[in-house]
């Protein structure tokens, strides 16, 4: 701040200074030509009036929206926040004493990388393009360092300098020239493209790339589609990450890890460990985007949309409900009961009336085919009608016949719609399991595909429902946890009443293999893991990040990624021919009916026993009375 205040006061003193040094104009023109908002941080060991000229030239602009701000700082001045990173342009004069130390310091502070920009002013005409002062520092492809070199009176040329990799030789890119008449002229190539695009050719630099293989044999089958249900995510991305390295003209060194990497005892293992220790530049197997990992790696793209979910066949309706009650709504049940009760009353009233009217008819009393006006008889008749049985008794009068007709007609319609509903319900599946919570409280058994990440995320779940699922269903204490192979899980799923946690894209291949057409219809998915699609990760601060991003985007736009995804990942099977699928009726469906039948049998046997006993009692009594009568008559006779 102090510097700028001094500058402002000096500005007015020097206002009529004669000729401005051309290098000041060059820097100002170059910054303007970048066409970005700029905050200039300049380290210049110049005369004060020249600094003022510089300040003046840089901050003056015709275009108000692109006005630059400038700050002149001392070499030892350490301040981290200069403003927004992408606005910062460092300007340094190489002729300053001990400027190398300053560069070392800035390298240490990670300022020689994207998005910071640098302009180095070299006044010595004999210098190489790459100045000695900075030649010991590795400026990697993501740095944007322009060396401004004086090549004659009032004429300059500008070059980008960078190295492809630490320790490789310097590469230069012509950026433009400046002379007094034409001012700054950019080279043609530089007009539109970003630096990352111009530096895509890494000239065979050996890039380390890490893949996750959970099975030892997978290394032999990365591209030949053998066993492609194992380590699918790696096999899908192996070709595309290789395209990426081809795109960058890089050679490659493969490193294989057996897990994606989790924090264990404070350190990271697996692929994340390799990325964190900077042993590899890019992780070739996409991994889950977790908040823990974001702090140690950079994610660049999500190449393969795939999720792991619980998949299960919707259980039959009868597993959760009693079909025999379900076919009518409650109101219909009540109305039917009301109707039957009304008919019962009517029938009873008519019967009573008929009997009263025909009281004088003696034949009627002997006719067993006539309905007696007693509640027991009427109830038994109605019961028979409900069960669609006939009745041995009837009413003889025309009123009675009409009531009987209405009774049988109404009950026949009720019976028809009831049985039709039951047939429909037998074929339908329950849709009551919609959330993890429903799943937890259902009668389904559970299985989980045995992968590193499933084992990790299931055992570390903290959310109550998920934790309960793991502790009660997947790994109940005292049993072996239900982790199993994909094949076993899908086969169990087919048998029903089994929820299997699998990567859906891979699992549906097995579903296609083992399931009948109709069985594919009732599949439901419920997500358990709280993660989004896996992403490709690169080393934090890798200088090739921008190139990787551009490359991955191109690979996706050109459909190469989609091709690989489609080859190895199956979409959810389409449901065709639900009609042709006939669900056979099982014990579970008839369970309530069987229950009623068996209770009925039991009750009837009990009745039979009682009836028999009652009959015995009656016979005994009869015999006794008979004996008594004989005795009395005999005694009367003897007397």
Q: Which is nearer to ligand NAG, 98 or 530 (CB)?
A: 98
Long-range contacts of 164-172 (CB under 8 A, 24+ apart): 164/140, 164/199, 164/202, 164/203, 164/205, 165/140, 165/202, 165/205, 166/138, 166/140, 167/138, 168/205, 170/129, 170/130, 170/135, 172/129, 172/130
Q: Give the nearer residue to ligand NAG in terms of CB position, either 252 or 309.
A: 252
Q: Which is nearer to ligand NAG, 45 or 352 (CB)?
A: 45
Detail the DSSP E strand segments found in 193-336: 206-212, 251-257, 263-264, 267-268, 282-287, 297-301, 308-313
Cβ at position 277, least distance to ligand NAG in Å: 16
Instruction: Compute the least distance from the CB of residue 104 to ligand NAG, in Å.
Output: 11
Closest distance to ligand NAG from the beta carbon of 246 (Å): 10
3-state SS string over 489-550? HHHHHHHCCEEEEEEHHHHHHHHHHHCCCHHHCCEEEEECCCCCCCEEEEECCCCCHHHHHH
Half-sphere CA count of 300, side-chain side, radius 13 A: 26
Provide the binding-site residues for ligand NAG, judged by CB under 6 A.
97-98, 201, 203-204, 249, 264-265
Burial status of residue 498 (CB atoms within 10 A of its CB: 0-12, 13-18, 19 or more): buried
- Residue 578's closest CA among 458, 468, 428, 444? 428
Of residues 36 and 455, the one with the C-beta less far from ligand NAG: 455
φ and ψ at 187, to 5 degrees?
A: -70, 155
DSSP letter, residue 470: I
Nearest to 468 by CA among 427, 446, 440: 440
Output the smallest distance, CB 191 to ligand NAG, in A: 21
CB of 95 to ligand NAG, least distance (A): 12
When the beta carbons of 97 and 477 are compared against ligand NAG, the nearer one is 97
Helix (H) or strand (E) holding 184: strand 183-186
What's the CA gap between 136 and 145, in Å, rounded?
A: 14
3-state secondary structure of 75: coil
In terms of CB distance, is 97 or 478 closer to ligand NAG? 97
Nearer to ligand NAG, 96 or 344 (CB): 96
Burial (CB count <10 Å: 0-12, 13-18, 19+), residue 102: buried
Q: State the Cα–Cα distance between residues 37 and 82, nearest whole angstrom.
A: 13
The distance of closest approach from Cβ of residue 250 to ligand NAG in the complex, given in angstroms and rounded to an integer, is: 8
Residue with Cβ nearer ligand NAG (265 or 398): 265
Cβ of residue 165: shortest distance to ligand NAG, in angstroms?
A: 12
Smallest gap from Cβ 44 to ligand NAG, in A, equals 14
Alpha carbon distance 254, 257 (integer Å): 10
User: Cβ of residue 560: shortest distance to ligand NAG, in angstroms?
Assistant: 18
3-state SS, residue 444: coil
3-class DSSP assignment, residue 138 = coil
Given a contact cutoff of 8 angstroms between Cβ atoms, the answer to whether 146 and 159 are in contact is: yes
Burial class (CB in 10 A: 0-12, 13-18, 19+), 323: buried
Query: Can you tell me the distance from the alpha carbon of 417 to that of 415, in angstroms, rounded to the nearest whole number?
Result: 6
Query: With respect to ligand NAG, which residue has the nearer C-beta, 98 or 194?
Result: 98
Toward ligand NAG, which CB reaches closer, 48 or 604? 48
Q: Which residue is nearest to ligand NAG (CB)?
A: 204
Q: Minimum CB separation from ligand NAG for residue 234, in Å?
A: 23
> 539 has which bridge partners?
297
Closest separation in Å from C-beta 273 to ligand NAG: 12
98/618 with CB nearer ligand NAG: 98
């Amino acid at each position: 701040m102090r510097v700028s205040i001094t500058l402002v006061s000096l500005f007015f003193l020097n206002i009529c200074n004669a000729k401005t040094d051309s290098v000041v104009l060059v820097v100002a023109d170059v910054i303007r030509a970048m066409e970005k908002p700029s905050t200039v941080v300049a380290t210049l060991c110049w005369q004060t009036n020249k600094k003022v000229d510089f300040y003046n030239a840089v901050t003056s602009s015709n275009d108000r929206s692109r006005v630059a701000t400038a700050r002149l700082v001392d070499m030892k001045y350490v301040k981290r926040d200069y403003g927004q990173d992408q606005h910062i342009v460092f300007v340094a004069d190489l002729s300053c004493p001990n400027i190398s130390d300053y560069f070392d310091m800035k390298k240490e502070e990670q300022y020689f990388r994207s998005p910071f920009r640098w302009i180095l002013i070299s006044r010595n005409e004999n210098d190489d393009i790459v100045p000695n002062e900075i030649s010991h520092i590795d400026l990697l492809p993501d740095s944007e360092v322009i060396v401004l070199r004086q090549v004659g009176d009032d004429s300059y040329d500008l070059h980008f300098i960078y190295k492809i990799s630490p320790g490789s030789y310097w590469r230069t890119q012509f950026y433009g020239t400046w002379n007094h008449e034409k001012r700054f002229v950019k080279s043609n190539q530089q007009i539109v493209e970003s630096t990352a695009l111009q530096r895509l050719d890494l000239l065979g630099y050996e890039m380390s790339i890490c893949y996750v293989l959970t099975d030892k044999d997978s290394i032999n089958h990365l591209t030949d589609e053998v066993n492609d249900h194992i380590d699918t995510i790696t096999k899908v991305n192996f070709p595309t990450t290789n395209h990426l390295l081809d795109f960058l003209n890089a050679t490659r060194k493969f490193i294989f890890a057996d897990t994606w990497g989790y924090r264990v005892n404070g350190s990271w293992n697996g692929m994340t460990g390799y990325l964190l220790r900077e042993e590899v530049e890019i992780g070739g197997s996409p991994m889950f985007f977790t908040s823990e990992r974001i702090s140690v790696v950079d994610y660049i793209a999500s190449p393969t949309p795939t999720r792991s979910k619980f998949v299960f066949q919707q259980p039959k309706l009868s597993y959760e409900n009693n079909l025999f009650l379900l076919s009518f709504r409650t109101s219909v049940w009540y109305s039917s009961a009301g109707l039957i009760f009304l008919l019962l009353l009517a029938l009873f009233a008519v019967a009573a009336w008929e009997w009263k009217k025909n009281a004088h008819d003696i034949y009627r009393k002997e006719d067993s085919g006539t309905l007696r006006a007693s509640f027991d008889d009427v109830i038994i008749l109605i019961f028979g009608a409900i069960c669609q049985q006939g009745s041995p008794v009837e009413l003889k009068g025309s009123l009675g016949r009409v009531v009987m007709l209405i009774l049988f007609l109404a009950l026949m319609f009720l019976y028809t719609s009831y049985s039709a509903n039951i047939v429909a319900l037998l074929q339908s599946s329950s849709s009551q399991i919609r959330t993890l919570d429903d799943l937890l409280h259902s009668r389904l058994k559970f299985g989980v595909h045995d992968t590193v990440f499933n084992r990790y995320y299931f055992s570390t779940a903290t959310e109550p429902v998920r934790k309960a699922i793991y502790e009660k269903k997947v790994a109940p204490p005292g049993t072996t946890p239900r982790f199993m192979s994909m094949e076993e899980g899908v086969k169990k799923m087919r048998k029903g009443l089994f929820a299997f946690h699998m990567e859906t894209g891979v699992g549906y291949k097995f579903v296609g293999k083992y399931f009948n057409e109709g069985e594919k219809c009732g599949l439901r998915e419920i997500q358990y893991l709280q993660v989004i699609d896996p992403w490709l990760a690169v080393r934090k601060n890798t200088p090739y990040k921008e190139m990787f991003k551009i490359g991955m985007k191109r690979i996706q736009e050109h459909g190469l990624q989609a091709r690989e995804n489609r080859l190895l990942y199956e979409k959810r099977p389409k449901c065709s021919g639900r009609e042709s699928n006939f669900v056979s009726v099982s014990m579970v469906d008839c369970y309530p009916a069987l229950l009623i039948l068996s209770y009925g049998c039991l009750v009837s046997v009990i009745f039979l026993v009682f009836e028999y006993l009652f009959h015995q009692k009656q016979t005994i009594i009869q015999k006794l009375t008979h004996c008594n009568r004989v005795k009395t008559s005999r005694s009367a006779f003897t007397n």
